[in-house]
Structure 1
Amino acid sequence: MNYETPVHAETAKPLGESTYDTVDPDARGGRRRLYVIGAVIAILIAGAIAFAYMTGGGETATPAGGDSEQAPTISVITPGRATIEGTITATGTLAARRSVPVGVVGEGGRVVSVTADAGDWVEAGQVLVSIDRAVQNQQASAATAQIEVARADANLAQSNLDRALQLVDRGFISTADVDRLTATRDAAVARVRVAQAQASELRERNARLNVVAPTSGYVLERMVEPGQVVSAGSGALFTIARGGEMELNAQISETDLARLSVGVEATVQPAGTDEAFTGQIWQLAPVIDEQSRQGVARIALSYAPELRPGGFATARIQSGTVVAPRLPESAILSDDEGSFVYVVDSENKARRRAVTTGLVTQEGVAITTGLTGTERVVLRAGGFLTDGETVNPQKAEN
């Protein structure tokens, strides 16, 4: 038996139209609103989670150790303690340790010859300059002749006295005549001595015409030439470094000067050469220059051709040893309150620590007070930290 449902034109659905389209439009709008509300809620939850993560809020967003992941990462070192040899670097001018000017001692005259030049070694008493002495030689000859004249007079007076003494016993010569002849003889003998003294004086004067080296040493300067007329007012004709000894007049700050003493060794390197020379401090300046606040340490050096007076040189002076922590200069800061470093404590917080610096070496600066050597010290960038700031320390190589 067939049952057929009648189809009316008013209720017939077009071909391809689903039954969903027959749902009430109000029902479809309600579902859409649910979808939109769900999406908005999901977006709000995701934003809240992201905000909590970025601000560190919430227990689930903070890792173990608090906010250390947000702290700056810095390098720290544990300096320990070491034996530090202090070195003071100073610069100065080379000079002769004892500079001896040599001039005319006698009356001077025309220079006949010069036997030494700058750069020569001379011995004490060596003739450096010969002076024309033609006139002086004639005077010396005259003085020698006067000695002979006086001696002849003395011999004649002695002969007269001898004859008179032979006639006294016969009564031909009185005692008064003998006394007079004796006085004549004595005066003649005295005139011989005077003539001899005058001749000796002339010989000495002539000998002093030559300019001789007063000491053995190295000739630094020569300021005389043959034919030149010189006298006692001509000034120095030569400059001699006694014994060839040199020195460096090192300019040193008053604080470093207080740490030095006579006898301390130093290494001197002249400008323009890689060769170094070993010397010793033999004198420290008793005064400090008021303008530069520096003093002079005089470093004695043996002769070497590279050590030229007037040249520039650098000295490295040993200033003693200490056992103390040593830090790179980058770790040490300073302000109006003095020198300080930042030390990271057990809570990873940077703490300011006042320190006192000591010897300065190529490896670093000695810390005499303020550190034991076991602390974690900020190696660099301490100037960007504040006291109590949390940091993320990372150990660096010493």
Structure 2
Amino acid sequence: MNYEAKMFGRQERLEFTGEEPRRSRRWIWITLAVIVIAGVAAFFLMGRHSGADKGAADKGAAAKQNQSQLPTVTVASPGRATVETIVSGTGTLAARREMPVGVAGEGGMVTRVLVEPGSWVGAGQVLATVDRSVQSQTAESLAAQVRVAEADARLAQSELDRAQKLVGGGFISKADIDRKTATRDQANARVRVARAQLAETSARNRRLDIRAPAAGLVLTRGVEPGQIVSSGSGVLFRLAMGGQMELRAQLAETDLQKLRAGVQAEVTPTGSTKVFKGEVWQVSPVIDPQSRQGIARIALSYDPALRPGGFASARIVAGGITAVMLPQSAVQSDATSNYVYTINDKNEAVRTPVTTGEVTEAGVAITSGLTGSERIVLTAGAFLNPGQKVIPAVQKK
């Protein structure tokens, strides 16, 4: 095919064979096909990504929903602590060593009472005096007899001395010397007898006075001036030796087994908030067969607030153990054993058997089964099952 064209005033003649237009159309179709294939691929690729994103979102939502359905439990790692074994009891206050004082001598009419309840007295101090007018006269008579006997003894000794000077000249026989020696010895013996009688009477007279057998605190007084007393009058005074007091605590047989002499105790009298320190000085060796109780005697220093006969409570530290301490809500039990729930690394509940010990104000002592480093469920353990997943919430200290 021949074409003629005018370009810029020139006339040119172009000749085409028909091969070039077919080749151009082929490239156009190839380009369009590539564009279409790319569009289709992009469409499917975008759809796949959107589906994956949607599936991931659905899975995340499901996981979040499952997570929200897990129970939340409070856990803690309590460690180990030294726990004191406390024994509590009640009892009556009394003098540790009570001394009843009565009439030691013949008695008579009380002339004076020199002390009152609450007075401190020394050993041998006179508490009350008894009339001794008759006994004093008897003592004077015996003292006179002693003086007479002493005079007779001196005279007998003088006569013996003179006789011994004359025996050498033959004026006195040896038999006379023997008689005078015997007379002197008899006189000395009468002196000793008179002195012994006087000492006895003086001792009896001293026993007329009612005296304190040892130093201490006067608790009660049961005598008044003018009262006739004798050895059958009973107790006239009661004293606490050294003013020492004690609490006689009544304890159960099982609690008594935990105590020993020397352990510390705290005593609080009824109606008072003041606490007195003391220690157990004696544990009863016998148990009452009826009440199944025994007595622990707690020594206390004197204080006006400690009144014999009063009621008081005692808190005795019987010893201590090192153990894991848990609240009672953490410990579960069934027919086989006691147990707690711990949380493992996968946040799963694990049933752990334990052995319990003392139950105190601080909680339950776990003597075996735990080291204290575990994550232990403190509450809601009764609603868990072994292997159940949970959300642990650590308890703040």
TM-score normalised to structure 2 length: 0.73
Q: Which amino acid aligns with 1:351?
A: R
Post-superposition offset of 1:307: 1.0
SS in 2 for 1:286: coil
Residue of structure 2 in register with 1:81 after alignment: 79
Higher mean C-alpha displacement, 189-198 vs 325-334: 325-334
Distance 1:386 1:112 in 2: 85
The answer to whether the 8 Å contact 1:68/1:391 transfers is no
The answer to whether the 8 Å contact 2:102/2:233 transfers is yes
Residue of structure 1 in register with 2:351 after alignment: 351
Q: Deviations over 1:330-360 (max 9, x none)?
A: 33355665644455665745736242223x4
Note closer, same or farther for the CA distance 1:110–1:350 as it changes in structure 2 (3 Å cut). same
Note closer, same or farther for the CA distance 1:304–1:289 as it changes in structure 2 (3 Å cut). same
Matched, 1:105 2:90: no
Q: Which amino acid aligns with 2:353?
A: R
Q: Which amino acid aligns with 1:153?
A: D
Post-superposition offset of 1:209: 1.1
Residue of structure 1 in register with 2:222 after alignment: 223
The answer to whether the 8 Å contact 1:78/1:373 transfers is no
Distance 1:314 1:198 in 2: 56
Q: Deviations over 1:142-190 (max 9, x none)?
A: 1111112212322332343344344434444322122112211210111
Q: Which amino acid aligns with 2:84?
A: G
Q: Deviations over 1:96-137 (max 9, x none)?
A: 121122222222222111111111111111100101111111
Residue of structure 2 in register with 1:285 after alignment: 284
Q: Which amino acid aligns with 1:232?
A: S
Residue of structure 1 in register with 2:50 after alignment: none
Residue of structure 1 in register with 2:122 after alignment: 123
What pairs with 1:142-221 in structure 2 (closer than 5 Å)? 142-221=141-220
Note closer, same or farther for the CA distance 1:337–1:181 as it changes in structure 2 (3 Å cut). farther
Point out the structure with max Rg over C-alpha: 2
Residue of structure 1 in register with 2:299 after alignment: 300
**Number of equivalenced pairs:** 336
Distance 1:335 1:276 in 2: 41
What pairs with 1:265-276 in structure 2 (closer than 5 Å)? 265-276=264-275
Post-superposition offset of 1:320: 3.9
Residue of structure 1 in register with 2:312 after alignment: 313
Residue of structure 2 in register with 1:52 after alignment: none
Q: RMSD over aligned Cα, in angstroms?
A: 3.3
Residue of structure 2 in register with 1:250 after alignment: 249
Gaps of 5+ in 1: 1-59
Distance 1:137 1:234 in 2: 23
The answer to whether the 8 Å contact 2:356/2:364 transfers is no
Distance 2:163 2:79 in 1: 107
Note closer, same or farther for the CA distance 1:74–1:217 as it changes in structure 2 (3 Å cut). farther
Distance 1:309 1:283 in 2: 18
Post-superposition offset of 1:208: 1.3
- Structure 1 segments, 4+ long, off by >6 Å, are 65-71
Q: Deviations over 1:226-283 (max 9, x none)?
A: 2222222322221111111112223344444444443332222211111112222222
Distance 2:180 2:142 in 1: 26
TM-score normalised to structure 1 length: 0.73
The answer to whether the 8 Å contact 1:81/1:323 transfers is no
The answer to whether the 8 Å contact 1:111/1:129 transfers is yes
Higher mean C-alpha displacement, 201-210 vs 273-282: 273-282
Note closer, same or farther for the CA distance 1:246–1:186 as it changes in structure 2 (3 Å cut). same
